[in-house]
Amino acid sequence: MESLQAVLSSGQLPNHLEDANLLRGYEADGGDIGNLLYLSLGETWTSVAPGLAAALARPLPAYTHGYTLSPYGLPALRSELRAYIKRTHHLSDIDTDSYDVAVSQSGTRAAMSDFGRLLLTSARRPTARPAALIPSPGWDYRGVLQPLGYQPLFYSLRRSETWQPDPEEIHSLLQRAGPGTLIVLNAQHNPTGTNWAPEKLRSIIEAATTHRAAILLDDAYYALHAPGTAPTNALRILLENAHQSQVPWLATRTLGKQFHCNGWGIGALTAHPLTLTCLSRITQERSYGCALPLQSAMTSWLKTSESDHFVNQLRHHYAAARQHVTERLHQSLGFPGHTVHTGTCTSYLRFQVPARFLRNGSEGHYRRLCLAAGVLPGAGSMTTAAEPGNQSPDEAEAYVRLFLGQPTSLLDRAMDRLEQAGLGW
């Protein structure tokens, strides 16, 4: 791992990120950060797509070092992304008036927040606390939406249902939620690696449009699926079902996950043209366009066949790493079959924390033991496992998540360290 000074030093200022605090404590206890195997966030700090880095190193147009007068991102990149979304989501037969594409140029988290704000400011009948339906386990959608004033309502993904969403549960929550509801969908699901079934997703979108709930589609891992498998094309399903309903919707697709450039903050925002127009006004309240040199390099990169080849190679790596780590967990560390969900998409693998390491139903103690052994896995969910309605007593389980984007030799070293520290099943 990179030195603490390089990736998290804040001087005398506090850093409240959980991983940062864990790593500082590890170093304070004499741990060697340079020898630590960091498998928590989906980050390597070392493996940006070579062709993309080369595009940034070449001379860039002088105007990219100034402001852009377009609120939708660098025009060349917006045009390239529109073609890219159309091609990769197979939208050639979809009415082009029903959607458009803008550049997400300061991270998709910020775009999600802007969309939440837009819904609140444009609500005809504002409620004190509109509901946000959020998958649990899941990514930190609550951290984005709750500060805006949304009341999180969690819909459950359970092992007994192979981590698939239950349309009937969501329909019931939509009936309870009332006006102003926003539902978050993540079809290539982080952290379980499950590809949600198209028929379930279609049913959920139909229910959302019936209840006039806004839809936030997180397509962060759409490109990262096992070779030979078809990812559920949530954007196409949404366009087929929501284009006549007039419910507001936004699909976010980061490019950082598929090109190992998270810090660039570049992605695609797909929505109805009117939604993008209104969203741009919210965005410009806090920022002009930014990172235009990065946007210019991304434009050049997306035009090359090398960009598709890089993603394809990444799919093969993740699939091989997923299978290899699963076998190590079963064979070397003794984890039973049901405790490891291999998954078919995303860049993560999730496995259950042995019961003897649980403290108050949390994975925190196990993570700290892994850290002491020189490996830091991620929390199994960025939502709280004990959320009301999330788990029944017989399903009270905790998980950790491993990032698979590191070389196989490093992943093997991590498994060796966990085995030697007695952290198997």
pTM: 0.95
Quote the pLDDT of residue 303. Answer: 97
Quote the pLDDT of residue 12. Answer: 87
Q: How far apart are CA 46 and CA 419, in angstroms?
A: 27
Please answer whether residues 130 and 178 qualify as being in contact, where contact means their C-beta atoms are separated by less than 8 angstroms.
yes
Number of residues written out for the chain: 425
Quote the pLDDT of residue 388. Answer: 42
Structure tokens at 79: 């045009």
Quote the pLDDT of residue 390. Answer: 44
Average pLDDT value for residue range 305-330: 98
Quote the pLDDT of residue 350. Answer: 97
- Structural domain spans, the chain: 4-48+308-420, 66-304
From residue 147, how far is each of 44, 132, 173, 380 by CA, in Å?
30, 12, 21, 23
Average pLDDT value for residue range 415-424: 98
Quote the pLDDT of residue 122. Answer: 82
Average pLDDT value for residue range 255-277: 97
The fold of 66-304 is Aspartate Aminotransferase; domain 2 (3.40.640)
On average, the pLDDT of the chain sits at: 93
* CA dihedral over 372, 378, 382, 386, signed as positive or negative: negative
Check if 4-48+308-420 and 66-304 are the same fold: no
DSSP one-letter code for 230: P
Average pLDDT value for residue range 287-298: 94
pLDDT band at 49 (very low <50, low <70, confident <90, very high): very high
Please answer whether residues 274 and 236 qualify as being in contact, where contact means their C-beta atoms are separated by less than 8 angstroms.
no
The fold of 4-48+308-420 is Aspartate Aminotransferase, domain 1 (3.90.1150)
Q: Which of 117-126, 283-292, 326-335, 341-350 has the lowest mean pLDDT?
A: 117-126
pLDDT band at 187 (very low <50, low <70, confident <90, very high): very high
Say which residue, 1 or 341, is predicted with more confidence. Answer: 341
pLDDT band at 384 (very low <50, low <70, confident <90, very high): low
Write the CB contacts of 58 (distance below 8 Å, at least 6 apart in sequence): 297, 300
